[in-house]
Structure 1
Amino acid sequence: MATARRPEKPSQVPANPIPSSSPAFGTPVHPINPRRTAPIRAPPGLKPAPKPNVLAILLPPAILRPLAFRTFTKKHNLTLTSSALQALATFVGKHCGSGWREEGLAEKVLEEVAKSWKKCGGQVIVDGENETLRSILKTLEGSMNGGRLVQGSNLSRHSSFNFGPEMNAQASRPTLDSNTSFGMSSLQVEDDEDDDDLLKDPREWVKVIGAFEQPKLVYNVTQKHFEKSTIKPSLFPDPSHKTEVFRQRYHIVHQRILRNETFQAPTFSTARSATLNRTGSIATSQMNSITPIANLLGRTGSTHLLLGMLTVSATGALSLSDLTGTIALDLQHARPIPENGAYFAPGMVVLVEGTYEEDAGASSSLGGDGGIGGTVGGKFIGFSVGHPPCERRTATLGGAEELDKNNLAGPAFGWTDFLGIGSQRATGSRMNKIASKLLDQEKAHNVVIASDLHLDIPSTLSALRTLLRSYTPDPNDAHPVYPLAIILMGNFSSKASLAGVPGAGSIEYKEHFDALASVLADFQQLIAHTTLVFVPGDNDAWPSAFSAGAATPLPRKPVPQLFTNRIRRVVAEANREVWGVSKAKGKEGEVIWTSNPSRLSWFGVKGEMAILRDDVAGRLQRTSIRFNKPAPDVEDEMPYAPSAQQNDIDSQDTMDLDIPSAPAAAAPKQQDEIDDDTQTARALTRTILSQSHLSPFPLSARPLHWDFAHTLNLYPLPTSLVLADAEAPAFVVKYFGCTVMNPGSIDESGGRGRREGRARWVEFDVRSCTGVVRSEG
């Protein structure tokens, strides 16, 4: 029979036992005599402080957007992308919890992130995919305690073991400032120049940026800043991108005009003082306003100032178009401002001052070919036509002349990185320190520029030898000086190569560059200490194979490596011969084949040179508008801009020219005594810089790759501009702080055998930003 089990007695458990090491798994409890066990107590100094727990919440980005906008945009002039806002919302919700709004925890976190971002040299647009933002948030994560940023948490841990007076003295020290608070030292963002001391050669800071390497920035009209395009540029874009090319040009010129002081509303004190000095109201005469074309309807007989692009309608009539509409132009009595000082051609954005005249039958004469808002009936009778006022580089980016009296609005885009080499606000001061240390005041730091290097003409190679010989120092010189870069520009063939022209096939084209390599091999010391930059022209491969020398779409890619291998080998051999036996340290010579156009920068944003090989002057002369000669008693003045700006009377804006035919010390000539070459140089310079574009023409006159048209923008204004134009005279002009240069043809004989070996080029000093036309032989 079954025996009933005796119930077990419950075990005797002490009143205050030490808990089991694993009670969940039923580990037997071993009672310990509490009389033999002393309580374990931590010393007061080592007892860890209780860390408050934060209940994480799911914070939607839309809820955090107003606070982030006030902190980043209003206070620090930064713009958050959707991914950055999502990352910040996730971080605040996780580490600040439900008290992010009531206790002000999120505002302090966002403030610290914004300061850390600017300290790290970030761009104006904060992107959530950026590694810098991730590093900042990761560093701040270790500094959070109960939803708050604890200052001093990144200090060494031995400070927590200090007791007594030492700890009190340490607590009385001033806390870290906002710029070096949490996130700065941990991110290792230092301003020391330990790494810069290793770069003793200024050529280390010279960089060539091709057109296909430049970032594409799009101007946002709503937020009034440039933002990086999210669409990857393509050689086969969507047809809608064609309209966007001209839309972006108009937006850039329009925002630049609105920042000009003549288009800004005067203050109350200015209008009041002007009223006391003159009779009548002056408020409307002091401020110039631009009238949209669509607003002309119903305002016949009134005077307006229009900003638009010159276009030619289907019937051949000249018209003006903006984003609101198109209107026919009557320029029979109009005068260009300044007279004979600029070109006006279709495709340019111009200012026209005149009167609107309504006519119901005028709309049908244009065939309905209008702008976005259609064609406005009637016509606009122009009195004067002028280019938009130019803007200095310091007014756009800031810098040493940031507080210039003429720059009332201040730098507009100081935090914008236009070329991918850093912004002015983030790296400008550091680059200036490095440049002042590496650029010797007693030495010349030149960039040599030569154009029209026709390798199929023997006299051109002789002229090139003359150029290279002039920059080869004496072997006995203890401190030789070499140019920073030598820019050789096409066309590298006088005939269209690979286009079926006799003597211009692929074999002959390669032989021409082999001949150039033979010339360079004779100057090993020079090519081992400088940078050779080659910019192609319209006659160079591969586009010349189908264009037969006609204008090819810009930008165009460099000369293929297939034809240039021997030049690369010559430079490499020169580096082995020179640097293999030399004990000096420096940067070896290099050869760069870049696009047309391209950019050359030195010391980051300190200096920028835009390079273009194109016959701009001839195209302007063929397509420009012919104006009737005005009466001699009419003053050369336009109401939208001061006369000093239009006539270049101001000493800072006066055009300084260097024409080879005129002596350098010659006195400036009067307007009626200026020769044709000088007049052409001034008109070409003023037109291109005022349009802020290297090709202000319609696509029918100068084709462009739509998605890469931003590489031809001249906004902000570069430090220098090279317009290699074979049809224009050689000149050096400085206008609004930008040095514009045209080296002309390197062979002065023109291939006719006369004065063989005489070379002509331009020498530009990057330290003083001045250029000179040189001619030797």
Structure 2
Amino acid sequence: MSQPRQRTIIRVFRNYSHSLGPHEVEFLEEVIDRHAIPDEYVEASIDVIAKQYNLQEDAGTKVSIDILKRVYSALQNSGEGGPQDDEAYLDPDDYLFFVNAFDMPLWNWSDERGTFDKSSQPLSTFSSAESRVMATRNRLNIIRQTISRNEHFTPSTVPSRDRQHLITVKSTKQLLGRAGQRFLLFGMLSHTKEGKLCLEDQDGIVELDFSQMDEPSDGLFTEGAFALVEGDYTEDSTFLVYGMGHPPSETRETSRSIYGHVDFLGKGATTPLEDAQYAMRIREDFGAINFFFLSDVWLDHPDCMKGLSRIFDNCIESNFIPKVMVLCGNFTSRGIAQGNSRDIQKYQTGFDALADLISSYPLITQTTHFVLVPGPLDLAMNSILPRRPLLSSFTARLRAKIPRLQLASNPCRIKFFGQEIVVLREDMMARMLRNLVGVKPAVRTEELKQFSILDQSHLAPFSNDIQPVISDYDHALRLFPLPTAVVIADKYESYRLTYTGCHVFNPGRFVGRSFEFASYSPANKESEAWYVLAAYLTGIDNADGYMLGHSVLEPDTD
């Protein structure tokens, strides 16, 4: 057996955090020879075996030859393991899933195994002290293991002069008795009972002194966020800070190469190789598929239905019908007073009118998946994150008339082949600006778009008193591995950026003089800004104002 094949076998299992001994490698070599697998299919075939090995309950980090033989026997009986027909027809609806926050399985980080373990305990909406501690510990461990793989913190296996410049992260317990020395710490920003800002990790807490720091790195820092802090430990047991930054992000591809076998969404895990094959098929066969995202769809606004109608008219005329249309709240322009039957009836009437409008376009009704995500002012069973879907009593006519309706939680996720799109409707920017850690004299406009949530691997990087979260479902707000796209439906101005391979955008508000929204193309993993203004439906590029190449309605001369 050639050395390249052996290296391929070892590399594939290493992607799943497993190590092979010589007997296991020899067995897999015999399997390859027995089935005369060509070189170009070796990696795919071994990947199938490694993936099935991970699904075994008794599988350990060190691969067992007995379990490996059992997996191989099961694959033989099921007929799996051979090369797939890449040209077989794929129905995109078969690979489109909508995942509510309350349906996602909980995976806890295990220090002992160095990977994620699926929780078998039933989850509750009533947070306990233990679940709050576990949620925070999971956040810390997820970011910490990402830091440990970053090139600036991981020593090379090959001796070099770069090793002497390696950055080492210390714990707060290593500060004791070492006053006057410089350290790099990693922990969560919080406040003591006396109101002093401090850094807290798994071993302790230390008060921070920002008097000598000019300015932190890019991004926004809030209480509850995790940060890397560099400075000197002083004689009075405080940490004199000279620099502070967000932890480094890790690309989705890197994380998936290690934890591709973990089914974080509960919809079936795919391997990085399968994701790459799906991405190619999307570009080649489904380049015309688009998703629409609208936020603040005020159903009680007199022009809202007119704006939606113009979108539907243009979709029919230009044959540009979206595969998915996500409508985010608030679905009312003002909060509903408790017990105000008139406002509640008006709220109900808005959803009924929406059902009638959509059903008046039969082609769109039968083709497009409609997803409704509640906003902060909408009526749902709970008011903290994650929020349950809209109350079913308000959506009876929608459910009767729209066959492809999804009443989603906030946040929710869309899985399309190997892509993952996270949708959050929350006024996140205002909350961040209200709770900035007081270390920066002024916030530049461009920094507002440097969203810190990707570095934090979490949609709500705040302490629980700033943003309450149901701790048993805190995992539904994780951003690890990084999604393909994150939609932050916010009152803040619309924007779009790609950071560490993740496309982040705010579709704008579907209110005002110009009704803004956005389209997302899975083929190129980018979004475009749109608006409805007067009698036109046009696509615009926020960067230079030129119109995009989609059809435009003729002006209304009536």
Select the residue among 355, 366, 390 that pairs with 1:517.
Answer: 355
1:623 shift after superposition: 0.5
Residues 523/192 of structure 1: CA separation in 2 closer, same or farther (3 Å cut): farther
How do 1:126-275 and structure 2 match up within 5 A? 126-127=56-57, 182-189=73-80, 197=88, 199=90, 201-267=91-157, 269-271=159-161
Is 1:414 aligned to residue 273 of structure 2? no
Contact 1:77 1:124 in 2 (8 A): no
**Which residue in 2 is equivalent to 1:771?**
527
1:185 shift after superposition: 2.8
* Runs of at least 5 residues in structure 1 that lack an aligned partner in the other structure: 1-69, 80-103, 130-135, 141-178, 275-282, 360-377, 399-411, 475-479, 545-551, 573-589, 631-673, 750-754
Select the residue among 349, 357, 367 that pairs with 1:529.
Answer: 367
**Which residue in 1 is equivalent to 2:544?**
none
1:204 shift after superposition: 2.8
Distance 1:75 1:693 in 2: 24
1:613 shift after superposition: 0.7
Is 1:710 aligned to residue 475 of structure 2? yes
**Which residue in 2 is equivalent to 1:701?**
466
How do 1:718-733 and structure 2 match up within 5 A? 718-726=483-491, 728-733=492-497
**Which residue in 2 is equivalent to 1:446?**
290
* Per-residue CA distance 1:209-266 (angstroms, 9 max, x = gap): 1111111111111221111112121112432111111111111111111110101124
Query: Aligned letter for 1:225?
Result: T
Q: Secondary structure at the match of 2:415?
A: strand
Residues 618/486 of structure 1: CA separation in 2 closer, same or farther (3 Å cut): same
Give identity over the alignment, percent.
Answer: 28
**Which residue in 2 is equivalent to 1:599?**
413
TM-score (norm 2): 0.82
**Which residue in 2 is equivalent to 1:585?**
none
How do 1:681-692 and structure 2 match up within 5 A? 681=449, 683=450, 685=451, 687-692=452-457
Distance 2:391 2:13 in 1: 46
**Which residue in 2 is equivalent to 1:622?**
434
TM-score (norm 1): 0.59
Contact 1:304 1:354 in 2 (8 A): yes
Query: Aligned letter for 1:356?
Result: Y
Query: Aligned letter for 2:159?
Result: S
Residues 463/259 of structure 1: CA separation in 2 closer, same or farther (3 Å cut): same
* Per-residue CA distance 1:610-666 (angstroms, 9 max, x = gap): 111111100110000233559xxxxxxxxxxxxxxxxxxxxxxxxxxxxxxxxxxxx
Residues 287/78 of structure 1: CA separation in 2 closer, same or farther (3 Å cut): closer
Distance 1:508 1:75 in 2: 55
Distance 2:157 2:13 in 1: 26
Distance 2:380 2:250 in 1: 37
**Which residue in 2 is equivalent to 1:322?**
201
Q: Secondary structure at the match of 1:739?
A: strand
Contact 1:123 1:417 in 2 (8 A): no
Contact 1:467 1:759 in 2 (8 A): no
RMSD (Å) for aligned C-alpha atoms:
3.3
Distance 1:415 1:564 in 2: 37
Is 1:392 aligned to residue 251 of structure 2? yes
1:288 shift after superposition: 0.6
Is 1:465 aligned to residue 309 of structure 2? yes
How do 1:111-122 and structure 2 match up within 5 A? 118-119=48-49, 121-122=51-52
**Which residue in 1 is equivalent to 2:299?**
455
Select the residue among 385, 397, 420 that pairs with 1:554.
Answer: 385
Distance 1:732 1:262 in 2: 28
Distance 1:193 1:593 in 2: 35
**Which residue in 1 is equivalent to 2:240?**
381
* Per-residue CA distance 1:708-740 (angstroms, 9 max, x = gap): 0011000110000000111x1101111111000
Select the residue among 330, 341, 353 that pairs with 1:491.
Answer: 330
* Runs of at least 5 residues in structure 2 that lack an aligned partner in the other structure: 1-9, 32-44, 60-65, 534-558
Contact 2:216 2:439 in 1 (8 A): no
Distance 2:324 2:117 in 1: 32
**Which residue in 2 is equivalent to 1:295?**
174
1:516 shift after superposition: 1.0
Higher RCO (C-alpha under 8 Å, 6+ residues apart): 2
Residues 736/73 of structure 1: CA separation in 2 closer, same or farther (3 Å cut): closer
Query: Aligned letter for 1:768?
Result: N
Query: Aligned letter for 1:558?
Result: P
Distance 1:416 1:494 in 2: 41
Distance 1:239 1:553 in 2: 17
Residues 419/347 of structure 1: CA separation in 2 closer, same or farther (3 Å cut): same
Residues 126/528 of structure 1: CA separation in 2 closer, same or farther (3 Å cut): same
How do 1:48-87 and structure 2 match up within 5 A? 77-78=17-18
Residues 74/511 of structure 1: CA separation in 2 closer, same or farther (3 Å cut): closer
Distance 1:495 1:268 in 2: 62
How do 1:750-765 and structure 2 match up within 5 A? 755=513, 758-765=514-521
Query: Aligned letter for 1:348?
Result: A
Distance 1:601 1:336 in 2: 39
* Per-residue CA distance 1:386-405 (angstroms, 9 max, x = gap): 1011111111113xxxxxxx
Query: Aligned letter for 1:710?
Result: H
How do 1:609-648 and structure 2 match up within 5 A? 609-627=421-439
Select the residue among 488, 493, 505 that pairs with 1:741.
Answer: 505
Contact 1:78 1:126 in 2 (8 A): no
Equivalenced residues, count: 499
Residues 379/497 of structure 1: CA separation in 2 closer, same or farther (3 Å cut): same
1:494 shift after superposition: 2.2
